[in-house]
Amino acid sequence: MAPTMAEREAELAALQSAFDEYIASSRELEEELDAELAKMRKWLVGHASCRPGSRHGSRPVVYPYSIIRIRGRILQLDNHIFRDHDE
């Protein structure tokens, strides 16, 4: 049996809502990424003078924990999108 017009409209409204939430989350994530990028640029400028053989030249590069956190957030958004798509 074919879905009624009301069922299709409800499905469309749910899809629109999920899409709007995805867009809002994407903007929030973009702002977080921009902030992290600014921090990393500042960090790199501060360490640009470190050369091999200098006092700080052998220090290993350590990525901030926030990159791992952001990756987790991206995976959550992807899972949310696919879960809503399957429903």
pLDDT, tens only, 5-48: 999 999 999 999 999 999 999 999 888 888 888 888 887 777 66
Which pLDDT belongs to residue 16?
95
Number of domains observed in the structure of the chain: 1
Higher pLDDT, 60 or 7: 7
CB 39 within 8 A of CB 70: no
Q: Which amino acid is at 55?
A: R
Q: How confident is the model at residue 64 (pLDDT cuts 50, 70, 90)?
A: low
Which pLDDT belongs to residue 86?
63
Distances (CA, A) of 26 to 20, 23, 68, 70, 72: 10, 5, 17, 11, 13
Is residue 73 domain-resident? yes
Is residue 82 domain-resident? yes
Domain of residue 72, residue span: 32-43+60-87
**Mean pLDDT (whole number) for 62-87:** 73
Is residue 10 domain-resident? no
Is residue 6 domain-resident? no
Give φ, ψ of 85 to 5 degrees: -65, -40
Q: Is the pLDDT of residue 78 over 90?
A: no
Is residue 49 domain-resident? no
